[in-house]
Amino acid sequence: MPTTTATRTRANAPKPKQSKRGSCLGRYREGDTGAVRSIVALAGAGGSVVVVDRLAGTKADARVIACIAAEEDPGNASLIAQLYLADENRGRCRELTSEDLSSSPEKVAGDDGQGEDAVAPNCSDGVLDEKGVCYSIRELDGGESGAARELRWARRSASGEWQALTLRETIGHFEDYEPFMAMAAAAVAANKDDPAIGVATLHCELRRQQDSPIVLNRGIRAAVLRAVNEQGLSLSEIAARCGRRHSGCDDFSSGDTTWLQRRIGVKKEAGSDGPTKWVHTDVLALIARDGLGLAPHEVEV
């Protein structure tokens, strides 16, 4: 991804979730080394923000992704991070220097002619699931939104019709946040000034997902199953470590396996159609920390 001065200024549009300077905007694992890297927003000169890719938990091997001028929307840092994380072919950005934090973005970030449209996912591109069903952001009837047409995530039925879905339903189906979060953000940014196309619902879903304490349980499920298959731990022992034991049982190793299986999505709740793909962050942290002895961020998707 090229290092560019960030995306367009948002004057009157609803603002996306703003990132705190110095806060983590996301993490990923390098395919070649397996090292966990984090995307952070650092305070630059004159109120600017520098988006940096560096080794998680340290300040080592810091690389500049983008520099955002003070007059731009601070929420652009989150948008750029989402686009960067969604790009599996992301390249090695240049090293962070002291000048990046002490000089204005115009002096350190130059424009190589490739704006946000060069890296933003195309919202009209479909994503196919394992059965070949297409999921895409489409223009659908506005309904109660008040707009004649509205951008929504949708699934194509066997008859060729598009069925509206929420961003959360789409993420849950694929059990992955990307490229769906980045595609939604790009679609909102590209169409926010077009009065003929509504983006309020998509924007609301994006904000809700960013702020939600309910997260995908795929990572914690994999960690639990790995502990069972490779370390010899039982589901009962893991549940007991989390303080979840069968009623009236004093045996430490006799944990409530049903509770654990439901939380990690291998057993459905009574009355539900199937296992859940979601878990509260507090429960994820409990299972990771007490049940497996892992830091919660190690099992986040």
Which H, E and C letters describe 72-121, residue by residue? Answer: CCCCHHHHHHHHHHHCCCCCCCCECCHHHHHCCHHHHCCCCCCCHHHCCC
Q: By C-alpha distance, which of 128, 130, 149 is closest to 138?
A: 149
Q: What was the pLDDT predicted at 241?
A: 94
| 284/278 Cα distance (integer angstroms) | 10
| 1/238 Cα distance (integer angstroms) | 41
- Sorting pLDDT into bands at 50, 70 and 90, what band is 227? very high
Dihedral class, residue 160 (left if φ above 0, else alpha if ψ from -120 to 50, else beta): left
Q: What percent of the chain has pLDDT over 70?
A: 79
CA angle 278, 284, 287 (to 5 degrees): 130
| 272/280 Cα distance (integer angstroms) | 18
pLDDT digits (tens, 9 = 90+) for 187-220: 898 888 888 888 999 999 999 999 999 999 999 9
Domain ranges of the chain: 4-118, 127-212, 215-299
Q: What was the pLDDT predicted at 196?
A: 83
CA atoms within 13 A on the CB side of 193: 7
Backbone torsions φ then ψ of 52, nearest 5 degrees = -125, 145
Using a cut of 0.75, tell me whether the model's pTM lies above it.
no
